[in-house]
Amino acid sequence: MWYLKNFDELSKKEVIEIYKARIQTFIVEQQLNYQEIDEIDKRAWHLFETDENGKVIAYLRIFQEVDGAHIGRVIVDEAYRRQGKGTALMERAIEICQEWYVDQPIMIHAQTYLQQFYESLGFEVWSQPYQLVGIEHMDMILK
């Protein structure tokens, strides 16, 4: 089941499940050493899908900055990858951003190995690659 909630609407269980999923992907799988939980979570919208037990299997957050709408922390649980969940998640996020943030650019800080995935959704690269928390990223913007 899909959910879209701001931080105050999330239940305690949902917050824990979201953080578990993000930590599993970014800290455990990718072996990144950084503070995964940040202040943006408090002002972001959290779009996620859960399985029948409430486990978060796909997630991202949407937030606004001065330069436009941002989509970040995009994850799909390892057991659910290559099933179209990432595409469905991103398509839904793009629709939300286009509805809420009319005429504002939609941006992501993408890990470079996912460039083709994001390009397939209409994003284009608009920065040189750079290191962020120990992994190569690039800024991308929706065309």
Q: What is the pLDDT of residues 76-94, one digit of tens each?
A: 999 999 999 999 999 999 9
Q: 3.30.420.40, 3.30.70.1060, 1.10.645.10, 3.40.630.30: which CATH number matches 2-104?
A: 3.40.630.30
Q: Are 76 and 60 in contact, with CB atoms under 8 Å apart?
A: no
For the chain, the structural domain boundaries read 2-104
pTM of the shown model: 0.95
Q: How many CA atoms lie within 13 A of 125 on its CB side?
A: 13
Angle at 135 between CA 129 and CA 140, to 5 degrees: 40
Q: How confident is the model at residue 133 (pLDDT cuts 50, 70, 90)?
A: confident
Q: Which residue has the tokens 């330069």?
A: 67
Q: pLDDT tens, 60-80?
A: 999 999 999 999 999 999 999
